[in-house]
A = this chain, B = another copy of it.
Amino acid sequence: MDRPKQRGRGRPPKCIDGRLETRQALVRAGVVALTERGFALTGIDDVLTRVGVPKGSFYYYFASKEAFGAALIDSYATYFDRKLDRWLGDRRRPPLLRVRDFMDDARLGMARHGYRRGCLVGNLGQEMASLPESFRARLIEVLHGWQARLQRCLEEAREVGDLAADHDCAQLASFFWIGWEGAVLRAKLERRAAPLDCFAEGFLALLGMAGSVSEQSRFIQEE
């Protein structure tokens, strides 16, 4: 490859500490690999090659593949928490529309990457049988964080009367993430958005928002 060996792809250096920058580039490449192929099939050598870091220097940055994996989960969790805060915490929008906004955004994200990239947490959850046991509690914790964010948004909807008072927001939020991971898995398998739309439609029906797949979604589906 012609690209410089010490640099992440296409980004100019942003900090004076080259080590930190290299570490960040390794994490970025690792997260992409994990969303596409999961942990077991992600070779350290592939990640190093992709980033342009010489083979053998991996252990300068991470004590082990397990430590690397833990850093990738943390990085993805931070990224995804922010994404959820942005969509589900957007007080300019009615709470239930924020849920739809998040789903529309996720849909666009999957389409942008040709449905090759799924959810890092879902991928690792699926291959947990062969992963370091330390990952299990962390993955569950990350999912609970997502669940708490959705629960708060649904509670807001209930408070303003957009969601019937007898809905159990904790149960609904838990239900959402269980099913949404299934929808992401299926969209990867089918390489199309239909499973995301199907789950979105069913979930919104459960909230009492039947027939609420957004116009944006319909437009994208027809492309």
CB within 8 Å of B: which residues of A?
A: 36-38, 40-41, 116, 118, 122-123, 125-130, 136, 139-140, 143, 171-172, 174-175, 177-183, 185-186, 188-191, 195, 198-199, 201-202, 205-206
Count of this chain's copies in the oligomeric assembly: 2
Seed contacts A37-B130, A178-B179, A205-B206; 10 additional CB < 8 Å A-B pairs = A118-B126, A125-B185, A171-B198, A171-B201, A171-B202, A178-B183, A178-B198, A179-B199, A179-B202, A181-B182
- Nearest B residue (CB) for A126: B126
Give CA–CA (A130, B123) in the complex, Å: 13
* A-B pairs with lowest CB-CB distance, top 6: A182-B182, A179-B179, A175-B202, A125-B189, A126-B126, A181-B182
Give CA–CA (A5, B206) in the complex, Å: 54
Cβ–Cβ contact A198 & B185, under 8 A: no
Q: What B residues does A125 contact at CB under 8 A? A: 185-186, 188-189
Pick from B128, B180, B185: contact of A122, CB below 8 A.
Answer: B185
Residues A129 and B188 in contact in the complex (CB < 8 Å), given A178-B198, A179-B182, A182-B180: yes
Pick from B41, B130, B198: contact of A174, CB below 8 A.
Answer: B198
Q: What B residues does A205 contact at CB under 8 A? A: 206
Pick from B118, B126, B181, B189: contact of A140, CB below 8 A.
Answer: B189
- Nearest B residue (CB) for A122: B185
Pick from B41, B175, B180, B198: contact of A40, CB below 8 A.
Answer: B41
Give CA–CA (A186, B179) in the complex, Å: 9
Give CA–CA (A101, B172) in the complex, Å: 22
Give CA–CA (A83, B51) in the complex, Å: 48
29 A-B pairs (CB sep. < 8 Å): A37-B127, A38-B126, A40-B41, A41-B130, A116-B129, A122-B126, A122-B182, A127-B127, A128-B189, A129-B188, A136-B189, A140-B189, A140-B190, A171-B198, A171-B201, A172-B202, A175-B179, A175-B198, A175-B199, A175-B201, A178-B183, A178-B186, A179-B183, A179-B202, A181-B185, A181-B186, A182-B182, A202-B206, A205-B206
Q: What B residues does A36 contact at CB under 8 A? A: 129
